[in-house]
Structure 1
Amino acid sequence: MSDTAIYPDLKGQSVFITGGGSGIGASLTEGFLRQGAQVAFVQRSDSTAFCDEMEKETGSRPLFIPCDVSDIPALKGALDTASKAHGPVTVLVNNAANDQRHETLEVTEEFWDWSQAINLKSYFFACQAAFEGMRDAGGGSIINFTSISYMMGGAGYPAYTTANSGINGLTRSLAREFGPDKVRVNALAPGWVLTQKQIDMWVTPEGLAGHLDKQCLNASLAPEDIVGGVLFLASKSSKMMTGQALVIDGGVVVTG
């Protein structure tokens, strides 16, 4: 990440990231640490080794809080813990998600509720829990991760794409509601980012080649390719940007 722009206003900011110990989230944690921010993140799996690595690489140790984001009381408690450790959270990144593949005719009510709890419900309640601290601090930035999957009408995970679309509606409504208190809310839609999970579970040579053919830029996306956009949305460089969806997908979905 040596070529990532530096945003001086992010130094010392209290940053909270869901799913910040693996995949895209791990790159976000590192990116904010390198900006001099104080980073707390939640992750279901043990992220102690990752924190050790970050402390060695950046000289700053993130605060790891074990949490399942679908457990709303635990999620709210994690935000409170982060605020007590680093001051009121002024940058919230809702990144945690689960894109488990599924067929419509096989979806049960339990699976549907589980998917929405992770991919949409947790976003709403994290925003709700973070808002008062941001308001009292004089403002803040919320970045909600969505996906281009719903824009493409992707098949094979309708509960997930439904949540993706809902995240955009949530983002626009909260941008309007929170704006008077100088709290900005934006969405970020990555394309197919080749995290280790994606490589292990979904990537095939044929599937990847077909997807790259849809991109304007014929190169695969890595987690670090998403970091710059998030830092921009978190910083004052985007201070008049809210209620928007920033797409980083190599040009699969072209907007305007």
Structure 2
Amino acid sequence: MLDKKNSTTVIYPSLAGRHALVSGGATGIGEALVRALTLQGCFVSFFDIDQVAGNALAQELTASGAQVHFTGVDLSDIECLQTSIAARIQRWGAIRILINNAADDQRHGLQDVTSEQFDLCMSVNLKHHFFAAQVVAPAMAEAGGGSIINMSSNSWLLGLTGYPGYVAAKAGIYGLSKSLARELGPQKIRVNTVLPGWVMTQKQKNLWLTPESETELMSQQSLKEKIQPDDVADLVLFLASDNSRMISGQSFVIDGGRL
């Protein structure tokens, strides 16, 4: 039996027993999503290119009683992605919750990016959202509908510099979600976008967080606390549940009031 991670965790009865898929689920925000969904009683499939971290998380959660399965997937390989999704549908049935989370925010400058690097940036940060939805939607519709949640970023709303390809991809996710919400709505499939601000994952703390950048961030946020992965997971759980059954085509910013 799983223990709730803390006393403030909200339980959504509609999530229990549903099959959820999280891309980029081995670390960071994705790991928080996987853990949160298992606490809701979901059957959780998750993909990641980091097989060491993915296997470790799956083993830990399985030992605690969760229904969870990890598959190592390079999301830039669309054939592998779709084949892996089909295998999970065959094993656990229709995916009722799809969370397109995987991304790579490596810094780069305008003059430094080749055409091949730009294509890879789009593939890792945008393209897989489209093709995961493509293969998930038919079974989701047949099962009675579901929720697709695309993880974007507030970076494109802020017009942040230092990674223009990433920012462009995250803006594209907004447009994709709006279009898919219209297309899939008649099949009772909801599509929404979550735009996190600077979330303090271990990667961010290791690579980018400095005392100076933290001071600047706190000066910009209305709420003077750092955003944690669990803060994002709490919002995603609501959007995945039937409690948000009439919400689709919308975007939700979670950035401590920075915008």
What is the TM-score with the length of structure 1 in the denominator?
0.97
Q: Where does residue 44 of structure 2 map in the other structure?
A: 39
Question: Is contact 1:116-1:160 (8 Å) kept?
Answer: yes
Question: Is contact 1:99-1:157 (8 Å) kept?
Answer: yes
Per-residue deviation, 1:94: 0.1
Instruction: Pick one of 6, 12, 21 that aligns with 2:11.
Output: 6
Matches within 5 A, 1:197-216: 197-216=203-222
Superposed CA RMSD: 0.9
- Distance in 1 (CA, whole Å) between partners of 2:139 and 2:190 is 13
Question: Is contact 1:42-1:67 (8 Å) kept?
Answer: yes
Q: Where does residue 184 of structure 1 map in the other structure?
A: 190
**Equivalent position SS for 1:6:** coil
> CA offsets per residue over residues 64-91 of structure 1, 9 Å max, x none?
0110111101110111121122111010
Per-residue deviation, 1:223: 0.8
Per-residue deviation, 1:114: 0.5
Question: Is contact 1:52-1:61 (8 Å) kept?
Answer: no
Q: Where does residue 116 of structure 1 map in the other structure?
A: 122
Residue type of the alignment partner of 1:195: T
- Distance in 2 (CA, whole Å) between partners of 1:91 and 1:67 is 18
Q: Where does residue 239 of structure 1 map in the other structure?
A: 245
**Equivalent position SS for 2:22:** strand
**Equivalent position SS for 2:133:** helix
- Distance in 2 (CA, whole Å) between partners of 1:150 and 1:76 is 28
135-144 or 77-86, larger mean C-alpha shift: 77-86
User: 5+ unaligned residues in a row in structure 2: which ranges?
Assistant: none
Per-residue deviation, 1:56: 3.6
Q: Where does residue 64 of structure 1 map in the other structure?
A: 70
207-216 or 94-103, larger mean C-alpha shift: 207-216
- Distance in 1 (CA, whole Å) between partners of 2:63 and 2:32 is 15
Question: Is contact 1:51-1:61 (8 Å) kept?
Answer: no
2:64 is the counterpart of 1:52: no
% identity of equivalent residues: 43
> CA offsets per residue over residues 148-176 of structure 1, 9 Å max, x none?
00000000000000001100000000000
Q: Where does residue 194 of structure 1 map in the other structure?
A: 200
**Equivalent position SS for 1:65:** strand
**Equivalent position SS for 2:95:** coil
Structure 1 runs (4+) deviating above 3 angstroms are none
- Distance in 2 (CA, whole Å) between partners of 1:205 and 1:98 is 23
User: 5+ unaligned residues in a row in structure 1: which ranges?
Assistant: none
Q: Where does residue 88 of structure 1 map in the other structure?
A: 94
Per-residue deviation, 1:50: 1.1
2:165 is the counterpart of 1:159: yes
- Distance in 1 (CA, whole Å) between partners of 2:24 and 2:84 is 12
> What is the number of residues matched between the two proteins?
252
